[in-house]
Amino acid sequence: MLKRVMLIEDEPNIIEAISFILSREGLAVDTHSDGTTANEKLRACRPDLLILDVMLPGKSGYDILRELREDADTAELPVLMLTARGQSRDREMAERAGVSAFMTKPFSNAEMLATVRTLVAGGA
Q: Which tens digits make up the pLDDT trace of 80-114?
A: 999 987 788 888 999 999 999 999 999 999 999 99
> pLDDT tens digits, residue range 12-52?
999 999 999 999 999 999 999 999 999 999 999 999 999 99
Strand ranges of the sheet holding 49-53, from the earlier edge strand across to the other edge: 28-32, 4-8, 49-53, 79-83, 101-104
Amino acid at 81: M
**Nearest in space to 27 (alpha carbons), one of 112, 105, 98, 104:** 112
Contacts of residue 44, defined as CB under 8 A and 6 or more positions apart, other chains included, come to: none
**Which residue ranges form the domains of the chain, and what is each CATH number?**
4-120 (3.40.50.2300)
> pLDDT tens digits, residue range 68-83?
999 999 999 999 999 9
Q: Would you give the DSSP letter of residue 94? A: H
Using the Cα atoms of residue 95, residue 11, residue 16 and residue 40 in order, give the sign of their dihedral. Answer: positive
**pLDDT for position 122:** 85
Is 0.85 surpassed by the pTM of this model? yes
Percent of the chain past pLDDT 90, that is, above it, reads 89
> pLDDT tens digits, residue range 110-124?
999 999 999 999 865
